[in-house]
Homo-oligomer: A and B are copies of this chain.
Amino acid sequence: MYPDSIQNLIESFKFLPGIGEKTAERLAFSVLEMEPEQVEVFSSSLVEVTQKVHPCSKCNTLTDQEVCFICSDPSRDPSILCVVEDPKSVFLFEKMGIFHGMYHVLNGLISPMDGVNPEDIGLSSFMNRVQNGNFKEIVFAFKPSIEGETTTLYIKRILEGMDIKVTRLASGVPIGADMEYMDSLTLERALQDRKIIE
C-alpha cells in the first residue's frame, strides 16, 4: 500500500528495539519532513558507525581509533581497572566523570541458563591484560544480578594469588528511594553491608 521506499524505511525502523508498526510509520513520515541534508547525515552516519566503530584493541570498548580515548589518555590512573559487562557501561561512567582509572569491557556476563560460559566472555584477553599490567585494584561494576554475581565470583577465583585488591560496586538502597518499594534482596544486602557512622 505504501510506496516501496516508504515501506522499506518503515521495515528498517521496525528493526530497532522497542519500535513497533505504528511508531515506525510515524518515524518514516517524519523523515519526509526533514531537510534533505539532515537525512543525508543520518544515512551516512548509519553506515559510518558500522564501518568505523570497533572494539578498542586494549580495553575492548567501542572506538573509531586503534586505541580508545581512555586507554590513550596519559592522565588516567593505570593502577585501577574497572571491569564492565558492555561498552555502554564505560560511556555511562565517563559521562558522570566519577572514575579516573582504566576500563576493561567483557563480552557480557556468564549465564549458563543462556548458554554463555566463562570462555565466551573474553576472559583470556582480560587475564592477559591483568598479567601484563600493574594493577593494584580491580573493581567489578556489573549490574546486580545472578549473572553479575556469578561472573564476579568466577573472576575473583582466577585472580586468587595475585597481589591485587578485588572490589565491587556497593549494593544498597539507592539515594532518594522510597523504603517501602525496596525489594528484599536489596534491603538484605544494604543491611549486610551497613556502615559505621563516623
When distances are taken between beta carbons in the complex, the residues of chain B under 8 Å from A87 are 29
Number of copies: 2
Q: Is the CB of A31 within 8 A of B8?
A: no
A100 CB → nearest B CB, Å: 14
Task: Judge whether A9 is part of the interface by a CB distance below 8 angstroms.
Answer: yes
Offer 11 A-B interface pairs, CB within 8 angstroms, sorted by A: A3-B62, A5-B52, A6-B53, A8-B48, A9-B49, A15-B38, A17-B27, A18-B23, A39-B49, A43-B44, A46-B46
| A window 31-64: CB within 8 A of B | 31-32, 34, 36, 38-50, 52-53, 62-64
Residues of A in contact (CB 8 Å), total: 51
> Chain A: interface secondary structure?
helix
* A42–B46 alpha-carbon span in the complex (Å): 8
Interface pair A94/B1, CB less than 8 Å apart: yes
CB <8 Å contact, A46 and B52: no
> Are A3 and B64 closer than 8 Å at their CB atoms?
yes
Residues of B near A36 (CB, < 8 A) are 50
